């Protein structure tokens, strides 16, 4: 089982126990698009926005490359609603397609 988490840095500490943390704050932020602001990274529109960021492929490749069964990883952005959630969902979907069992946790969305 691989655990993938999303969180917002502005909400406090990094989740425990991620083996690795990937900071996605340098990606373009969907928050500033008035159409995307009210939805979160589980939505295909936000995921598409994130996929078109120049840093997307590098960050996704890095995340996939560091994970094995039993590992945990956390994606963090500022608010924990858009970029980190989208990256978590995208990476989880890819891992499931490759046959891995994946648990997804969205800290800030679950707290709401």
What's the 3-state SS for the chain?
CEEEEEEEHHHCCCCCCCCEEEECCCCCCHHHCCCCCCCCCCCHHHHHHHHCCCCHHHHHHHHHHCCCCCCEEEEEECCCCCHHHHHHHHHHHHHHHCCCCEEEEEHHHHHC
Any idea where the domains of the chain sit in the sequence? 2-111
pLDDT in tens, the chain (112 residues): 999 999 999 988 787 766 689 999 999 999 999 999 999 999 999 999 999 999 999 999 999 988 877 889 999 999 999 999 999 999 999 999 999 999 999 999 977 6
Q: Give Cα separations from 78 to 3, 27, 54, 66, 87 (angstroms).
A: 21, 11, 18, 23, 13
Are 12 and 76 contacting, i.e. CB atoms less than 8 angstroms apart?
no
């Amino acid at each position: 089982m691989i655990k993938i988490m999303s969180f917002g840095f502005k909400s406090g500490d990094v989740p425990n126990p991620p083996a690795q943390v990937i900071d996605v704050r340098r990606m373009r932020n969907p928050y500033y698009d008035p159409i995307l602001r009210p939805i979160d990274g589980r939505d295909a529109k936000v995921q598409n926005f994130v996929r078109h960021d120049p840093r997307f492929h590098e960050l996704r490749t890095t995340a996939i490359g560091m994970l094995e069964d039993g590992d945990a990883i956390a994606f963090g952005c500022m608010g924990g609603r858009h970029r980190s959630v989208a990256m978590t969902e995208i990476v989880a979907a890819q891992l499931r397609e490759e046959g891995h069992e994946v648990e997804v946790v969205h800290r800030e969305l679950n707290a709401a």
